[in-house]
Amino acid sequence: MTAATATTADTFRPALHYAARNTWLNDPNGLIFHEGVYHLYYQNNPLDNVWGNMSWGHATSTDLLTWTEHPVAIACDEEEDIFSGSIVFDQDNTSGFGTDSAPPLVAIYTSAFKPGSAHRGLQAQSLAYSLDSGYTWTKHAANPVLSRGSAEFRDPKVIRYDGDAGSYWIMVAVEAQDFQVVLYKSHDLKNWEALSTFGPANATGGVWECPDLFPLPLDGDPGNPQWVLTVNLNPGGPNTGSAGQYFVGGFDGTTFASSTTVTEGLQDPARLGEYQWLDWGRDYYAAVSFSDAPDDRRLMIAWMNNWEYANQIPTTPWRSPMTLAREISLHTVDGKPRLIQKATGNFAALPEAGQAFSLTDTAIAEGTHILEGAAGSVQRIDITLTPGTAEEFGLVVRGDGTCGTRIGIRPAEGTLVVDRRESGDTDFHESFPSIDSAPVRATEGSYDLTVYVDRCSVEVFAQGGQATMTELIFPPETSTDVTVYAIGGTATINRLDITQFG
């Protein structure tokens, strides 16, 4: 389906998600909570709304929903582009960039060296530091601090390790084309010692990028911590294009050992659906977590786009949003450790745009049925469904009575599907119209979905966050209907609650 071209710059501008004012963004970088503020840095082209001139943009929030954009934090120059990385609070001033009474924030980023540099053609890790809580940055005079002589060594995530092996900084980065995570340690952030490597393993259908490593208690038990290693890849996702996968296991301060690896070495394409994915949708990439989040929460944000069509999505003058922040936890599901994800942020403080809508114990007859009074373009939808005789049943959001984005359950297949072939403007790239799927099984005979609908996206959390799907959509402003449907039989709505946001 082809929709009319956007007539205003804000037709698709999200209400719940961060997007730069009038430029391009991609990977989230340097996520950190510091002095009561969440800092979101990101890959940014400050001169255009397509990829290029890579620098670190910057936005801040106190509630993870309302963001303030700031000037470019770390800018590219004639010698280097500023690729992805992370930020740590160097509380003990191990780097010497600050003082004991005024310790610095330190950014560890990838320098992608240009032809005019003495390091031309290489990617290596560099430092910048801030003495004003992250608003202005100074590049380290002795950059880069770690080079492997590689053109594909990038995306350092640095954490503080305190364990039986000692106390020091750990860096996880990637040799992207080798499908390998490389681990280093340092006592001062400037001098690094190689520790170990991980991979190739599981999904290797595209380059590995943007790793992360962190501990989580299994089933909420602090006496049973597990380590989670995430790594994004492009392409090679479960529904094609960009995606992120994760492994669960142990980390002894030197080596990460996965207990959830399905395939060693290069992937078996037939087993793609067995791997553990951060998200099964088309538009969840480069996900990384915040450093120093309050109450030891593990909070994660991803870039909401896909490299298959990233530069072509029909937004102007900005291009690409971020996902909602997600709180992630680790639980045993079917005997295996799995990440559970829930959207987080102070939703209760958002202005509501209209009357809440609710239904209980309502049959869905075969066909499609518009819910009068439920229409909206920015919504949270909570629904519990019980299958009857239908082959597929679910919701259509951002619809016009005929078209829209279909979110459905196919119980015989055990799948959740998102169909955006008739979601609005889809003809800007041949790979955008799609039916994407994720594995999902009934819990006590029913299916629970929480769906966040925004002006250019849907984020679906199934079965309490056991499976998620994130998808961009570009519907006409007038397409606001919510519809329920059943194909080949009937189903039942046990409950349906819709909150409208302004």
In this prediction, residue 39 carries a pLDDT of 98
Tell me the three state secondary structure of residue 341.
Answer: strand
Choosing from 27, 155, 283, 481, the catalytic residue is 27
Q: Are 57 and 45 in contact (CB under 8 A)?
A: no
Q: How many whole angstroms separate alpha carbon 436 and alpha carbon 408?
A: 10
Q: Are 398 and 479 in contact (CB under 8 A)?
A: yes
Q: How many whole angstroms separate alpha carbon 200 and alpha carbon 178?
A: 7
| Residue 126 reports pLDDT greater than 70 | yes
Which pair of structure tokens corresponds to residue 410?
Answer: 């196919």
Overall average pLDDT of the 69-75 stretch: 98
Going by the DSSP 8-state scheme, the letter that residue 375 receives in this structure is -
Q: Tell me the pLDDT band of 74, cut-offs 50, 70 and 90.
A: very high
Q: Tell me the pLDDT band of 7, cut-offs 50, 70 and 90.
A: very low
- Of 130, 73, 126, residue with least CA distance to 104: 130
Q: Are 152 and 177 in contact (CB under 8 A)?
A: yes
- Per-residue 3-state assignment (H helix, E strand, C coil) for 264-302: ECCCCHHHHHHCCECCCCCCCEEEEECECCHHHCCEEEE
Q: How many whole angstroms separate alpha carbon 481 and alpha carbon 453?
A: 12
Which pair of structure tokens corresponds to residue 254?
Answer: 């030197």
Beta bridge partners of 258: 249
- Of 183, 177, 192, residue with least CA distance to 142: 192
Burial class (CB in 10 A: 0-12, 13-18, 19+), 342: middle
Beta bridge partners of 338: 331
Q: How many whole angstroms separate alpha carbon 225 and alpha carbon 232?
A: 23
Measured from the Cβ of residue 166, the count of other Cβ atoms closer than 10 Å reads 10
Q: Are 178 and 167 in contact (CB under 8 A)?
A: no
If you search the block for the tokens 């393993």, which residue do you land on?
201
Tell me the three state secondary structure of residue 40.
Answer: strand
Model confidence pLDDT, tens digit, residues 364-420: 999 999 999 999 999 999 999 999 999 999 999 999 988 999 999 999 999 999 999
Q: How many whole angstroms separate alpha carbon 205 and alpha carbon 195?
A: 26
Beta bridge partners of 130: 105
Helix (H) or strand (E) holding 33: strand 24-34
In this prediction, residue 8 carries a pLDDT of 47
Q: Tell me the pLDDT band of 78, cut-offs 50, 70 and 90.
A: very high
Model confidence pLDDT, tens digit, residues 439-482: 999 999 999 999 999 999 999 999 999 999 999 999 999 999 99
| Residue 4 reports pLDDT greater than 60 | no
In this prediction, residue 203 carries a pLDDT of 96
Kind of pairing, strands 138-139 and 123-130?
Answer: antiparallel
Q: Tell me the pLDDT band of 9, cut-offs 50, 70 and 90.
A: low
* 6-10, 103-107, 144-148, 394-398: least confidently modelled range: 6-10
Helices (H) and strands (E) in the chain, counts: 0, 32
Q: Are 490 and 331 in contact (CB under 8 A)?
A: no
Model confidence pLDDT, tens digit, residues 284-296: 999 999 999 999 9
- Of 403, 364, 353, residue with least CA distance to 387: 364
- Cβ contacts of residue 470 below 8 Å, gap of 6+? 279, 281, 282, 283, 284, 302, 304, 323, 457, 458, 459, 460
Concerning whether 27 is annotated as a catalytic residue, the answer is yes
Which residues in 20-53 are b (16+ Cβ under 10 Å) and which e?
Answer: beebbbbbbbbbbbbeeebbbbbbbbbeebebeb
Assign residue 463 a region (left: φ > 0; alpha: ψ between -120 and 50; beta: otherwise): left
Model confidence pLDDT, tens digit, residues 11-56: 899 999 999 999 999 999 999 999 999 999 999 999 999 999 999 9
- Cβ contacts of residue 76 below 8 Å, gap of 6+? 53, 54, 55, 82
Q: How many whole angstroms separate alpha carbon 433 and alpha carbon 74?
A: 36
| Residue 197 reports pLDDT greater than 90 | yes
Model confidence pLDDT, tens digit, residues 167-194: 999 999 999 999 999 999 999 999 999 9
Q: Tell me the pLDDT band of 270, cut-offs 50, 70 and 90.
A: confident
Q: Are 18 and 322 in contact (CB under 8 A)?
A: yes
| Residue 1 reports pLDDT greater than 70 | no
Dihedral angle, C-alpha 267, 268, 270, 275, nearest 10 °: -40
